[in-house]
Amino acid sequence: MSTLSERILNAPAGEYVDRKVDRAYAHDGTGVLALEAWKCMGASRLANATEFSIMFDHIAPANNTTTATLQRELREFATGSFMNFSDIGCGICHQLMSEGVVLPGEIVIGADSHSVTLGAFGAFATGVGATDMAAIWLTGETWLRVPESIGIHLEGRFTGASEAKDLALAFVGELGMDGATYQALEFVGEGAKDLSIDERLVLANLSVEAGAKAGLFYADDVTIRYLRERGHTVKPQLPEQCAYIKDLEFDLSDIVPLVAVPHRVDTVKPVDDLAGLPLNQVFVGTCTNGRYSDLARFARIVKGNKVAVRTIVVPASAAVLTQAIRTGVLADIVEAGCTLGTPGCGPCLGYHMGVLGEEEVCLSTANRNFKNRMGVGGEIYLSSVATAAASALEGEITAPEVV
Amino acid sequence: MQEEGHAVCLPEDIDTDVVIAGRYLRTKDRSIWESHVFEDLDPGIAPRLKGAVIVAGKNFGCGSSREQAAIAIREAGVVAVIAPSFARIFFRNAINIGLPLIEADITCNESSTVKFNLAQGWVELSGKRHKFRPLSPRMQEILAAGGLVEYWRKHR
């Protein structure tokens, strides 16, 4: 009996396989180097049968002439070679792939570590670097070592103000930053079936923070409904009895709001332990927590109040932004004193906007708090959306209340 | 083929943000990556990396998929990186740009000479020889070609 990764890759764990890639995508950060590698390979035509995409999300819009010129070159390549191209403001690459593109059972390779996000759909989705992406443009294939899998067994439902991000920080904390290196996580059990696609995307997204190669959910009724609303008819993936090399169990009703403290994602504490820590910035967004449900939850908490600290909200995509405009969520956020960024990665990676000053402290809904990532000398704490909202109102780390 | 270099010791869980910070990625100029490599860890490290073998703790290269991290290390003159484990994207990136990696758990002595043989699968430090599992044949082929670009120039 096989794990989902073994079924999709059609080989037992440990084997090296060459596989056709169904979808391959890169962004403005990795695409520039991939294009350089592609040219050096002397390649001219894209492989058939793979769907290729390039999205501009990392430095969007461009911050200076150097970036703009690099982006111009990559934009010309993407449009000239008939790739799917999403320019600045369309949104984060993983988010765009999640809006009715990736389907269960597909092999999806992104030139970004958070490509694991798409495992939420029962796809085998993983990240590679730029040169690997160039080789996929050339051949439509890549080599993979079929991973062993760790079973993340979920039961129960979230209670209080806890949300998927808190569970994600909990499993990264338990596994450690390299607890799943070369391996896949499979999220299974009754508790997994109750999770929305947005919640699954959060959990799959954080898999790589434990070093995982992929983080997969089995496609079920929730997946089928989500994709049907976006024009796709798909079948469920039924779990088989299979051997995991390790098993972790979580009762969702035991999960409390958590914070990852600098500079490690696996150093996780209950938010109560950090209550009162003064903040200079709150950031809500990213491929972890920039979806419409996140913005709506944030708005519910801050509506009618004013934030006490500078707060940057960045929708994960233009579709998220549009929905937030239509429903009034965006007005609530702006009226509460928050400011907005262009749909994309925003300040998460410290390339171009919303960076921190020396000794400044940021509470972020992102997935990484590495040293100096958002600016030299700045410190990053990671939390859920509800914790970020409660903390923004107080200007210090604050436990969220049930809304 | 036997190779060697002087040991430079690094801790565990080195992430690629620390190898080369995001603020230096807005360019294709490799000399910028080379000169700022490991800057947030140890600003004076770059000159010591010429001809060095990095001996690091587990989970080397975790985090971002940025290939510039592997390129920066190679451009700085590092001969190979040895660690008990590597983050998987960094692992692929390093092989793809022709930077040899060795999965081995050895005790580092700063500045002492490290000798290794990739094909035979051994590394020697302070007179002690350690065996390691050689890279897969495909990865050895890519490395021997000088990286994935050169590999595909040949095999295309």
Instruction: Return the H-helix or E-strand segment holding B7.
Output: strand B2-9
pLDDT of residue B54: 98
A24 plus A50 within the same structural domain: yes
B97 close contact with A: CB closer than 8 A: yes
Q: According to the model, what pLDDT value does residue A351 have?
A: 86
User: A279 and A354 share a domain?
Assistant: yes
Do A196 and A304 sit in the same domain of this protein? no
| CATH number assigned to the domain comprising residue A166 | 3.40.1060.10
CA A110 to each of CA A77, A137, A139, B128, B152: distance values in angstroms, whole numbers, following the listed order: 18, 12, 15, 41, 20
CA torsion, points A194, A196, A199, A204, in degrees to nearest 10? 90
Q: Which residue from A66, A368, A372 is facing B40, i.e. has the nearest CB? A: A372
The Cβ of residue A164 has, within 10 Å, a number of other Cβ atoms equal to: 26
- CATH code for the domain of A340: 3.30.499.10
Q: Are residues A183 and A214 in the same domain?
A: yes
Cβ contacts of A131 on chain B, cutoff 8 Å: 67, 93, 96-97, 147-149
Q: Taking 90 as the threshold, does the pLDDT of residue B26 lie above it?
A: no
Report how far residue A37's alpha carbon sits from residue A85's, in angstroms, rounded to the nearest whole number.
Answer: 19
Is residue A2 assigned to a domain?
A: no
Burial-class residue A288 by CB neighbours within 10 Å (0-12, 13-18, 19+).
Answer: buried
Does residue A8 have a pLDDT over 80? yes
Task: Tally Cβ neighbours within 10 Å of residue B105.
Answer: 12
User: How far from B146 is each of A138, B94, B95, B98, B142, CA to CA, in Å?
Assistant: 18, 11, 9, 5, 7
Query: A279 pLDDT exceeds 70?
Result: yes
pLDDT, one tens digit per residue, over B56-74 is: 999 999 999 999 999 999 9
Top residue of A109, A113, A126, A358 to mutate, by most chain B CBs within 10 Å, is A113
Q: Which residues of A touch B18 (CB under 8 A)?
A: 370-372
pLDDT at position A403: 64
Average pLDDT over residues A162-180: 98
Cβ-defined contact of A134 to B149 (cutoff 8 Å): yes
pLDDT score of A357 more than 90: yes
Say what the pLDDT of residue B58 is: 97
Q: Do A126 and A154 have their domain in common? A: no
Domain carrying residue A320:
259-394
A134 and A154 share a domain? no
Count of structural domains within chain A: 3
Q: Is residue A402 part of a domain?
A: no
Whether A188 and A249 share a structural domain: yes
Verify that A20 and A141 share a domain, yes or no. Answer: yes
The arrangement of secondary structure in B2-155, i.e. its CATH architecture, is: Alpha-Beta Barrel (3.20)
Strands A268-270 and A310-313 come out as: unpaired
Where does A291-369 show beta strands of DSSP type E? 310-313, 339-340, 361-364
Domain boundary among the residues A233, A254, A275 is at A254
Of B25, B97, B153, the CB nearest to A42: B153
pLDDT at A199 over 80: yes
User: Do A310 and A390 contact (CB within 8 A), yes or no?
Assistant: no
> Of A95, A120, A145, which residue constitutes the final position of a domain?
A145
For chain B, the 3-state helix, strand and coil shares in percent, each to the nearest 5, are 35, 25, 45
Above 80 in pLDDT, residue A115? yes
pTM: 0.96
Same domain, A153 and A68: no
In whole angstroms, give the CA distance from residue A238 to residue A159. Answer: 28
Task: Identify whether residues A134 and A247 lie together within a single domain.
Answer: no
The answer as to whether A311 is a domain residue is yes
Q: Which residue of B has its CA nearest to A137?
A: B152
CA atoms within 13 A on the CB side of A149: 27
B142: distance to nearest CA of chain A, Å?
A: 12
Structure tokens belonging to residue B147: 């990286």
Both tokens of B61, joined, read 């290269």
Q: Of A226, A254, A282, which residue constitutes the final position of a domain?
A: A254
Cβ-Cβ pairs closer than 8 A, A with B, add up to: 126
